[in-house]
A and B are shown apart, each in its own frame.
Chain A
Amino acid sequence: MSVFLECKKMKRTGFLPAFIGGGILAAAVPVINMAVRSEMYQTKQGNPIQILLSANWQMMAMLNVLLVVTGACLLYHIEYADNAMQKMKSLPVRESSVFTGKVILTIFMSFLVLAIEAGAIAFCSYHWFEIGNGFFSGLCKNFGYAFLLMLPCVILSVLISEACRNMWISLGIGVVCVFTATMLPTNNFALSLFPFATPFQMLAGTDMEQAVRYIYAAAVEFFAFGLAELLFIKVRRSFE
C-alpha cells in the first residue's frame, strides 16, 4: 500500500528520470572506455566480466552511490519541504511504514540501475569479447552480489534523510560519507564494511568465502539500520 503511495508522490519530482539517467550514465562508462581504448583490454586474458568490471566498477559504483544518496535526499525532502510530514503523521499510517515504502522504492530503483549497467556489460562483452558458456549466469551472480551489497547503503541514506529536516544537511552528510568510503583502504575487511563502501566491492576477483562473508555482513547491516530506524522514530517522537 505505502509503496504505491510513494510511487505516486514521486511522479513529478524527476525521481524516475534521474535514476534512469544515472543508470544510463553509469552504463556508458564501460562502453566509452572500451570504445576509446579497446586494445588495452582485449589483449588481457580471462573472463570478460572480470576485465570489464575491474576496469570500470570503481567509477560505476561511485555514480550508483551518489545516485542513491541524491534520490534518498529527495524522498524525504518532498515530505519536509511543505510540512507534508505532519499530514502523513495524522493519517492512520505508521511512520515506519512510510520509511519502509521509501526504502523499497529506492531498492527497486537501484535494481533498475544495476539492470541497465548489466545490460551495458553484456553489450561490451558481446561487441569486444566473446560470450562464452555460463556468461549470463556469471553476469547475474556479479550484479546480484552488487545489488545485495548496495542494500546497506540504500537503507542508511534513507535513514539519514529521514533524520534531517533540511535537504542540504542530509546531502552533506551523504557526500561526506561517500568521500569517507573512497578514502578507506579496500583490503581491510572491517573498514570496507562501512555501508557506503560496500557497493565498491565486486564479486569477480574475490574468493567465495570472502564474498559470503560480505553478503552476511550486508544483511546484518541492513537489519541493524532497520531496527535503528524504529528506535529513532520512537526517540524523536518523545522529543517533539
Chain B
Amino acid sequence: MNFLSLVGMEFKKIKRSKILFILLAATVILWMPSILNAHINFEMQAEGISPENNFFIQGFMGMAWFMFPASMVVGTVLISQTERTNKGILKMLALPISTAKLCLAKFAVLLGLAATQIFMMTGMYYISAVVCSKTQAYSFILPPLFVGKEIFLLFLAAIPMIAFFWMLSVCIPTPVFSIGVGLASIVPSVLVINTKIWFAYPMSYPFFVITSEYGKLAANLNTAQVELIPWIPVAVVITILCLVVSCIRFGQAERRS
C-alpha cells in the first residue's frame, strides 16, 4: 500500500469527527473582536505600522499564540482516540503495513488539519478585511502574495511543534497526560520567545515567527528577528527526533497488552 492511499484512508476515518467545525469556530471567534475594534488599527502611529498590516498581524498573532497550538493538541486527541475506541488500532496493527508508515500517515493527517486551519484563518481574514474596509472606509485588504508568504512561513514553523505534540500523544497512552502536557507547554511560550534559547522550544516557533514579522512591518518596533543558523538545524533535529521516537513507539502499548 503506498503512502498516499494510507493518508487518504486516515482522512476518511476522521470524516465525521466534526473537527472542522471546531477549527472553524475558533477562527470565527478570533476575528470577531478585530472586526468590532477595527478603528484601533488607526492608532498605531507610535509603532509605525500601517493599519492594514496591523489588522492582519494582530489577528495572526492571536492565532499563533494559543489557538493554533491548542487546536493541534485537540487534533492529536482526535487521531489517537478514533483508533482507540473499539480497538481499531489492533486491527490496523494486524495488517501487513509497516507501523512507521502508519504513524507517518497519521502525522500527515495532523499536518493536513494544521493547513486546513491556516486556510480557514486566511479565508476569515479576507472576509473580515472586506467587512472592515466597508465599515471604516479604508482598504484593509493586503495582496494575496504577501499573505501567502506569511501563512506559508507560519505553517513551516509549526511543523516541529506538531511533531512534538504527535510524539506526546503516541508516547503517553493516558490521554489526560498527553493533553495536559501539550496544553501546559503552550502557556510559557510567551515567556520563552523573549529569551535567547527560544529556538530550543518548538511550541514557541509559530508565535516567534509572527512576532518577528510584526517587528519587520512596524518601523519603530524592535522585536527579536529570526536567526536562521541555530534555528533551522535545531528545528530539523527536533522534528526528526520526535518523528523517529513516535514511529518506534507507535502501537507498542497495544502490542504488549
Known contacts A172-B22, A183-B30; A59 and B184 CB within 8 A of each other: no
List the B side residues contacting A182 at CB < 8 Å. Answer: 66
Interface-forming stretch among A68-76, A95-103, A205-213? A68-76
A188 nearest CB across to chain B (Å): 12
Within 8 Å CB of A180, what residues of B? 29
Question: B175 and A175: CB pair below 8 A?
Answer: no
Contact with B along A163-178 (1 / 0, CB 8 A): 0001111011101101
Q: Which of A18, A21, A77, A168 has the most CB of B within 10 A?
A: A168
| Contact partner, A168, options B19, B25, B30, B183, Cβ 8 Å | B19
Q: Which residues of B contact A71 (CB under 8 A)?
A: 176
Q: Do the beta carbons of B78 and A168 come within 8 Å of each other?
A: yes
**Do A176 and B22 contact each other (CB < 8 Å), given the known contacts A22-B180, A63-B187?**
yes
Which A residues touch B177, using CB under 8 A? 14, 17-18
Query: How many angstroms from the CA of A67 to the CA of B181 in the assembled complex?
Result: 10
* Count, chain A residues at interface, CB 8 A: 33
Set of chain A residues within 8 Å of B118, measured between Cβ atoms: none
Cβ of B179 < 8 Å from any Cβ of A?
Answer: yes
Q: Check A179 for interface membership: any CB of B closer than 8 A.
A: yes
In the complex, chain B residues 172-211 whose Cβ is within 8 Å of any chain A Cβ:
174-177, 179-180, 183-184, 187-188
A173:B22 contact, CB within 8 angstroms: yes
* Number of residues from B at the complex interface, CB < 8 A: 32
B244 within 8 A of A: no
Interface centre among B78, B174, B177, B180 (most CB of A within 10 A): B180
Is the beta-carbon distance between B74 and A172 smaller than 8 angstroms? yes
Which residues of chain A are near B29, meaning CB under 8 Å? 176, 179-180, 183
Given contacts A171-B77, A172-B22, A175-B70, contact A63 B184 (CB under 8 A): yes
Contact assessment for B66 and A171 in the assembled complex, using a CB-CB cutoff below 8 Å:
no
A54 within 8 A of B: no
Contact A171 B74 (CB under 8 A): yes
A13 CB–B CB distance under 8 Å: yes
CA distance A70 to B29 in the complex (A): 21
Which single residue of chain A is at the shortest CB-CB distance from B34? A183
Specify the chain A residue showing the minimal Cβ separation from B74. A172
A139 contacts chain B at the CB level, 8 A cutoff: no
Chain B residue with minimal CB distance to A69? Answer: B183
Q: Which of B25, B62, B183 gathers the greatest number of chain A CB atoms within 10 Å?
A: B183
Decide: B174 and A59 in contact? CB cutoff 8 A: no
Q: In the complex, A66 Cα to B69 Cα: how many Å?
A: 13
Q: Determine how close the nearest CB of chain B comes to the CB of A175; give it in whole angstroms.
A: 4
- Write out, one digit per residue, whether chain B residues 30-68 have a CB within 8 A of any chain A CB (1) or not (0): 100100000000000000000000000000001000110
19 further A-B contacts with Cβ under 8 Å, apart from A67-B184, A168-B77, A169-B18, are: A13-B174, A22-B184, A63-B184, A70-B179, A73-B179, A74-B176, A81-B84, A81-B85, A166-B78, A172-B19, A172-B22, A172-B71, A175-B26, A175-B70, A175-B73, A178-B70, A179-B26, A179-B30, A183-B62
* A-B CB contact pairs (8 Å), 30 listed: A13-B176, A14-B174, A14-B177, A18-B176, A22-B180, A66-B183, A67-B184, A70-B176, A70-B179, A70-B180, A70-B183, A73-B176, A74-B175, A166-B17, A166-B18, A167-B81, A167-B175, A168-B77, A168-B81, A171-B73, A171-B74, A172-B71, A175-B67, A175-B71, A175-B74, A176-B22, A176-B29, A179-B26, A179-B66, A183-B33
**What are the 3 tightest A-B residue pairs by CB atom distance, in nearest-first order?**
A172-B22, A168-B78, A14-B174
**B residues neighboring A (CB under 8 Å):** 17-19, 22, 25-26, 29-30, 33, 62, 66-67, 70-71, 73-75, 77-78, 81, 84-85, 174-177, 179-180, 183-184, 187-188
